Structure 1
């Protein structure tokens, strides 16, 4: 790893889904089929992709635009997700291995719920990659709010202004959370601008973490 970028930051924060890991499409499609049956509404491949990957930013806002109650959707969604099946269908991006080379505190800030996140981390054997972890909830707040980011920074002991950090993620919410918390932002574009329908700007914009080092 090139020392320059690593030495630039006292700590790193990372998103999980779409940033370090992803899930096989067949799993996503099956979940949306079952949720659609529960809600009495079919989801197209494009709609499932938008919600799963957060392509338009706030998933709740997108659901509301489609006339779907977010609470009903998420209740049905989480009822249909089996943590062990989700873990088995999850794979690690090859370029995510850079995390193991970081010689500074590393934190995880994810919207993935704890009952799903923990089995995934165990299955991929990446639990020890992170010195602190937070799975966002209504109580902690959701990215792009800075509160969950600040909470992990406090857990890492880097919450004061004397530390310089960076947050890496695959969505606009990650970039917003970084900037709102006073951090630099890395946007890793896993899906492509055409599929996303817009260009997410960050302090660094890459298609792979390999480009950074």
Structure 2
């Protein structure tokens, strides 16, 4: 168990960590992306790319013979922010975040035009003191810069901090930023094809609810 007061500042990932999109929505998005690229995506490929199960999505796209730039252009072109928000649900155990009584930041690869409507639709924007949506200016995880930007906005660069995420890039970003990490495993580890080694590994935020000094 990890006491919630073990750190002065908490940073968290969004998709796959706190929220996720309904399978039917993910399937529709990839069908439309496939139409634009002239290629079908299997169930396995959809899951790997959506959740980043294989690590770097761009590296995985290249391994499958796809140009990452063309893929992401098509991906963002077919997504409607309102439809995406309405198809997104909050993991029940994520309510833990609302109870944190210290600075909390969100650092996500979800594009800003999609993340904003999701936060508003789920009414969780006020959970976070700062929101950083990764882009070409901020850099992308595992680059530590997005995490450093969040810490700077929180005036907490020198404080004991932790980053919580569901992917290898999250854990690597935490290490690169000098933070501890919590890996939330919401998928069958066998699908990843790799072992994600954070400082802590949990399957639910309920594992973080133990009081300091508790059993």
Q: TM-score, normalised by structure 1?
A: 0.96
What per-residue deviation string (whole Å, max 9, x for no partner) do you get for residues 179-201 of structure 1? 11110000000112122233211
Alpha-carbon separation, structure 1, partners of 2:183 and 2:78? 30
Equivalence for 1:121? 119
Structure 1 stretches of 4+ moved >6 Å: none
Q: Which runs of 5+ in 2 are unaligned?
A: 210-215
The equivalent position to 2:208 in structure 1, one of 199, 208, 212, is 212
1:206 Cα offset (Å): 0.6
1:195 aligns with 2:191: yes
CA distance in 2, matches of 1:43, 1:10: 42
1:186 counterpart (154, 177, 182): 182
Residue 5 of structure 1: CA displacement?
Answer: 1.7
Partner of 2:8: 10
Partners in 1 of 2:86 and 2:179 — Cα distance?
33
Is 1:155–2:157 an aligned residue pair? no
The two structures, once aligned, show a CA RMSD in angstroms of 1.1
Describe how 1:91-106 pairs up with structure 2 within 5 A: 91-106=89-104
Q: Secondary structure at the match of 2:3?
A: helix
**How big is each residue's C-alpha offset from its partner over 1:158-194, in whole Å with a ceiling of 9 and x where there is no partner?**
01x3x10000000011100111111000000011212
Cross-structure match for 1:108: 106
Query: Could you say what secondary structure the match of 1:51 adopts?
Result: helix
* Aligned counterpart, 1:30: 28
In 1: Cα distance, 2:38 partner to 2:176 partner: 38
Normalization by structure 2: what TM-score?
0.95
Relative contact order (C-alpha < 8 Å, sep 6+): which is higher?
2
Measure the CA separation in 2 of the matches of 1:88 and 1:169. 22
Q: Offset of 1:117 from its aligned partner?
A: 0.3
Q: Secondary structure at the match of 1:5?
A: coil
Structure 1 regions of 5+ residues with no counterpart? none
Quote the Cα distance in structure 1 between the aligned partners of 2:5 and 2:115. 29
Q: How many residues align?
A: 209
Structure (1 or 2) with the greater helix fraction: 1
Cα distance in 1 between the residues matched to 2:18 and 2:6: 21
Query: What is the distance in 2 between the residues matched to 1:94 and 1:142?
Result: 27
